[in-house]
Amino acid sequence: MDNYINLPLVTVCTLIYNSGERVIMALESVLKQYYPQERIQNIVIDDGSADNSAEIVKEWIDTHQFSCTFIRHKKNEGICKSLNDGLNLAEGKYFSSLGDDLWKPERLQILVREFEKLPEEYALLHTPVDFCNESGSITEENFSRRNKIMEGEVFFEILCNGSMVIAPSVIYRTIHLKEAGSFNEQMIYEDLDMQLKLAQKYLFKYIPKPLVIYRREIKNSSNSDFFIRDGAYVLPLYYIRITSQFLGKSKQIDRIILRNNTAAYRVFHISKYSSDTKSISFFVYSFFDPYILNYLRIKRLAINYFIQLFKILIFRNRAGYTLRDVGYLFKLFFNNKIPAEALK
């Protein structure tokens, strides 16, 4: 690209966790970008790797005179803490993170060019991805979740159906990312929470060209051990935790959240307890409704949720609820359903 001095600066935050050799391949893909290296601010963060990944990457950085800020956490802090460290140092107009995935050479060139065409209301660009195995060989091309194009005003779509945005494909407008606040370090997944916060005020744009080669088979984020230890059944609880922060803003939003949170509780019940084959409860749940039986096991969680909801509806009542409205919402939740007309 000519006249590179006038091109916007892009901050690239690369995260390491027990993935030294693969991160080197990722950094090499940054070096191969058509976008001028002089307009890329590189921040490399090791999140307390338990192996020698930090030393391997640091040696590569020194050998190749790779211009970057290198940060090493003394202990494992999680993806969100690492991203916040990178965001605090970000000077670029645009911000993109990288793990052990690979970028196609034209990625930054295309995304920056597309972003520069868009008005300030756009906060996020995303694309489909290609999948690869551990060696980097492509196993699937042009993948997008459910073949769904998510762009424009997407807040209610994400709230109702979840996000179809593939996190490694994303590039943000830095100023909007900072305005939305830091990545929530109490969350396991960084993307859904941030996407919802951005989607409240800003627009998303989908670019229908795969620009990232995504390692699907082996992921080494610093959150991986959590899922191995506790299982995927925790995800519905995190969905509840993320979406519940938007309660009390409007009746429509509240009804959507209550409907989805009810479904999420059911997924949590079935996933957690039906997989416990060593427990006699496994056989009991095979014959009876898990929603009713599991209520006894998660009653503390359910009660806490109801208390929080009640406080929001009564004491932070921005939506103008009446007591009848509140009673109706609780009735819907207890009956485990929300009729379609309630969403209109």
131, 237: one domain: no
316, 244: one domain: yes
Q: How many domains does the chain have?
A: 2
Output the pLDDT for position 128. 93
**Digit-coded pLDDT (tens) for 185-206:** 876 666 888 999 999 999 999 9
**Digit-coded pLDDT (tens) for 192-244:** 889 999 999 999 999 999 999 998 755 544 444 433 333 344 555 566 667 77
Choose one of 202, 225, 248: the last residue of a domain: 225
Least confident of 29-33, 146-150, 217-221, 295-299: 295-299
CA within 13 Å, CB half, 174 = 22
Longest dimension (CA), the chain: 70
Cα separation of 208 and 213, whole Å? 14
What range does the domain containing 191 cover? 4-225
95, 190: one domain: yes
21, 101: one domain: yes
CATH number of 167's domain = 3.90.550.10
214, 248: one domain: no
- Average of per-residue pLDDT across 129-138: 82
- Average of per-residue pLDDT across 322-340: 51
176, 258: one domain: no
Output the pLDDT for position 150. 84
197, 249: one domain: no
Output the pLDDT for position 63. 96
249, 202: one domain: no
Output the pLDDT for position 239. 67
45, 167: one domain: yes
Query: Is the pLDDT assigned to residue 286 strictly greater than 60?
Result: no
pLDDT band at 184 (very low <50, low <70, confident <90, very high): confident
Choose one of 198, 225, 252: the last residue of a domain: 225
Choose one of 178, 203, 225: the last residue of a domain: 225
DSSP state letters, 84-144: HHHHHH--SSEEEEESS-EE-TTHHHHHHHHHHHS-TTEEEEE--EEEE-TTS-EEEEEE-
Cβ 172 vs Cβ 123: under 8 Å:
yes
Output the pLDDT for position 158. 84
**Digit-coded pLDDT (tens) for 146-178:** 556 789 999 888 887 778 899 999 999 999 999
211, 108: one domain: yes
52, 68: one domain: yes
239, 333: one domain: yes
